[in-house]
Amino acid sequence: TVSVTTLNMVYKRTVTFTVTPNAVPSSAVTVSLSTSIGGISGQTITLPAGSMTPVVVTVVCTNNAAASGAISLGAASSSDALFNGLMPTVTSISVTVLAVEITVSTGTVSSIYGRHFGFTVTPTVAPTSAVTITLSPPTGVVLINSNVITLPAGSSSPVTVPFYININSAASYTLLIPLASSSDSAFNL
């Protein structure tokens, strides 16, 4: 038996499922995996002889792009005739991969001298540890709280970045948003 029919995955994060025989095989049983999604490698599951212990299968996506597809499980192969050629209870696991991105709510903000404005920064999935983004605002743009945006661990809620303009003349400014830094490798982009 296979423990799942669907998997939701995130770039660089591992997910697991189990495969369990419903009887004790007299010799090892192998089941092959294949996938239609790039970045998830196929592998072979081996159920050991003399055991009904579940085998944990770990898969990871190395492609940072939203995708959907399936992991297919093939027929079992074994010198135990009871298992040889047997199809798993689940032959296709539906897979959805979420891209890891940090989105900014706006590309352009029109602001007036002295007035507070803001934009939001949002991760598409919750990071496992805090993500920091250090900004270097140009002269004239003042970030109110800090020059560091922190996306908290365990949350995919937007973080608001308030700012104001402290030069009383018409001008255009560009605020570059650099790469993120985190011990969550999925967000170390």
**Token pair for 101:** 């991105």
- Following DSSP, what letter does each residue of 105-174 receive, concatenated? S-S-----TT-EEEEEEEESS--SS-EEEE--PPTTEEESS-SEEEEPTT----EEEEEEE---S-----
The whole model's pTM is what? 0.69
With b for 16 or more beta-carbon neighbours within 10 A and e for fewer, the 45-63 pattern comes to bebeeeeeeebebebebee
CB 92 within 8 A of CB 133: no
What is the percentage of the chain residues whose pLDDT exceeds 70?
Answer: 94
Tens-place pLDDT, residues 14-47: 888 999 999 999 999 999 988 877 667 668 899 9
Distances (CA, A) of 60 to 17, 65, 76: 12, 13, 23
What is the rounded distance in angstroms from the CA atom of residue 19 to the CA atom of residue 1? 6
